[in-house]
């Protein structure tokens, strides 16, 4: 094991990753980013199902790599095992005994049928933190349902809030339910590890795609639970703040967020609107007349290109920005200055760039990153490590 690539706040923590697709792998990758040793257990022959998700695939024709898989499996080792076989069950038993965390996102009941109920896991290792991620929760009237991101986006209300209008429910352009569940899983695991320092025992942490999406309803949630209003999609403009959204200019568009009256006054002055116009006196009036306001703003903005307005708004301290494509984002010097693009040396792809972790530490962190593993790449080294521990 290359210790130079595994330093970080979680150095010494061992994670067994039984998950596949995205939510569980996202959790395990985040823990690996922080220095944990992550051992990903995959089915022989096929591995994590996301290894087959594409195109695009990259690399040699006889061993193509899915860019989907590459997105959520850095800083891991891969071993293969059929968990239904005696040999696979034995390997998992040995891993559990020496692990700090186990991550799984099987449908509820699968771990029990494999012989690794939470009771059994804690018999093997009382200090083990177990993370279980499901689609709709492990219990309740729909606890056994399988969960995929877009289904959860629809059932958890997110699609009804997204899109150009109430009649066009739209999914988010990334698998946001999976990613949020992965983030919540990492948050729960770290909390349980912290508690273990006091109690000496691990516990079971649960989250779901449903819980993770409902958990980010933010003001749209209280808009219903407190005020009784059901939010619906409103396109590219904020439903409670104005002006706050996307505005057309000459040859393009910009986004402006005038979140208070002072910012509104500076914005209006720059584009030549009357700051004393009683129609737009206060955020509530601006929200009530949003369509009229947007039309008045765009009439002014269409006189000049985006760059002209962005320069003036930046100088005046009015929050504004352009809408970038992903190539522009990853090539942006600011993106790269934040460590959001990392280089890894992949065994078959050579040096490649990956999106980097979102959390940084001033005085600690990984000295480098491991590439997403080839299927079964660490079969021998992980088994040798276990043999050394077991004697």
Domain residues for the domain of 304 are 244-324
Q: How many structural domains compose the chain?
A: 2
315 and 166 both lie in a single domain: no
pLDDT (0 to 100) of residue 4 = 38
pLDDT (0 to 100) of residue 361 = 86
Residue 94 covered by a domain: yes
The rounded distance, in Å, linking the Cα atoms of 4 and 280 is 59
Sequence-distant (6+) residues with CB within 8 A of 382 are 39, 77, 79
CA-closest candidate to residue 372, choices 90, 25, 73, 62: 73
The residue out of 302, 324, 346 marking a domain boundary is 324
The rounded distance, in Å, linking the Cα atoms of 70 and 214 is 28
270 and 340 both lie in a single domain: no
The rounded distance, in Å, linking the Cα atoms of 182 and 316 is 39
Sequence-distant (6+) residues with CB within 8 A of 204 are 118, 130, 131, 132
305 and 162 both lie in a single domain: no
pLDDT (0 to 100) of residue 104 = 97
84 and 205 both lie in a single domain: yes
pLDDT (0 to 100) of residue 206 = 97
Q: Which of 33, 100, 178, 296 is catalytic?
A: 178
Residue 226 covered by a domain: no
Cβ 212 vs Cβ 188: under 8 Å: no
138 and 179 both lie in a single domain: yes
42 and 170 both lie in a single domain: yes
Q: Report residues of the chain scoring pLDDT below 70.
A: 1-6, 364-365
pLDDT (0 to 100) of residue 147 = 86
Kindly report whether the global pTM for this prediction surpasses the value 0.85. Answer: yes
Segments of the chain assigned E as strands: 14-17, 37-42, 57-58, 65-66, 77-80, 101-104, 129-134, 204-208, 244-249, 252-257, 320-321, 341-346, 350-355
> Is 362 a known active-site residue?
no
CATH of the domain at 262: 3.30.1540.10
CA-closest candidate to residue 243, choices 253, 225, 226, 257: 257
CA-closest candidate to residue 271, choices 240, 238, 248: 248
Phi/psi zone of residue 319: left (φ > 0), alpha (ψ -120 to 50 degrees), beta? beta
290 and 379 both lie in a single domain: no
57 and 168 both lie in a single domain: yes
The residue out of 324, 347, 382 marking a domain boundary is 324
pLDDT (0 to 100) of residue 176 = 97
| Cα torsion through 221, 226, 230, 231, rounded to 10 | -50
The rounded distance, in Å, linking the Cα atoms of 282 and 213 is 32
Sequence-distant (6+) residues with CB within 8 A of 215 are 180, 184
The residue out of 277, 302, 324 marking a domain boundary is 324
CATH of the domain at 146: 3.40.50.10540
- Sort strands 129-134 and 37-42 into parallel, antiparallel or unpaired: unpaired
Residue 223 covered by a domain: no
CA-closest candidate to residue 235, choices 246, 219, 224: 246
The rounded distance, in Å, linking the Cα atoms of 102 and 83 is 14
- The neighbour count for residue 89, using CB atoms within 10 Å, is 16
The rounded distance, in Å, linking the Cα atoms of 371 and 166 is 42
pLDDT (0 to 100) of residue 74 = 97
pLDDT (0 to 100) of residue 6 = 63
Radius of gyration of the chain (CA): 25
342 and 315 both lie in a single domain: no
């Amino acid at each position: 094991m290359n210790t130079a690539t595994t330093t970080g706040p979680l150095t010494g923590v061992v994670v067994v990753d039984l998950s596949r697709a995205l939510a569980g792998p996202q959790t395990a990758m985040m823990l690996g980013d922080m220095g944990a040793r992550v051992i990903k257990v995959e089915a022989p022959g096929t591995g994590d199902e996301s290894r087959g998700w594409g195109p695009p695939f990259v690399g040699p024709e006889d061993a193509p790599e899915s860019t989907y898989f590459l997105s959520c499996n850095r800083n891991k080792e891969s071993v293969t095992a059929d968990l239904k076989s005696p040999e696979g069950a034995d390997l998992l038993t040995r891993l559990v005994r020496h692990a700090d965390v186990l991550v799984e996102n099987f449908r509820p009941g699968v771990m029990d049928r494999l012989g690794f109920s939470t009771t059994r896991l804690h018999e093997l290792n009382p200090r083990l933190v177990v993370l279980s991620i499901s689609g709709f929760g492990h219990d309740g009237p729909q606890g056994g349902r399988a969960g995929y991101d877009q289904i959860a986006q629809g059932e958890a209300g997110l699609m009804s809030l997204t899109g150009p209008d109430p009649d066009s429910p739209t999914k988010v352009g990334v698998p946001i339910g999976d990613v949020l569940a992965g983030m919540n899983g990492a948050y729960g695991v770290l909390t349980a590890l912290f508690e273990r320092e006091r109690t000496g025992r691990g516990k079971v942490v649960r989250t779901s795609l449903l819980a993770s999406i409902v958990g980010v309803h933010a003001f749209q949630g209280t808009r219903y639970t407190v005020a009784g209003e059901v939010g619906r999609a409103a396109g590219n403009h904020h439903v409670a703040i104005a002006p706050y959204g996307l505005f057309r200019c000459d040859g393009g568009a910009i986004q402006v967020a005038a979140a208070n009256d002072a910012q509104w006054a500076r914005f209006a002055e720059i584009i030549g609107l009357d700051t004393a116009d009683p129609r737009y006196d206060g955020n509530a009036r601006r929200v009530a007349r949003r369509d009229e306001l947007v039309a008045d703003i765009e009439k002014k903005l269409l006189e000049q290109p985006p760059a002209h307005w962005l320069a003036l708004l930046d100088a005046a301290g009015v929050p504004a920005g352009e809408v970038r494509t992903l190539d522009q984002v990853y090539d942006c010097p600011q993106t790269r200055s934040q460590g959001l693009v990392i280089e890894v040396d992949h065994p078959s792809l050579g040096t490649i760039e990956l999106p980097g972790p979102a959390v940084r530490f001033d005085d600690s962190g990984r000295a480098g990153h491991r590439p997403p593993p080839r299927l079964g790449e660490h079969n021998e080294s992980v088994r040798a490590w276990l043999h050394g521990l077991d004697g």
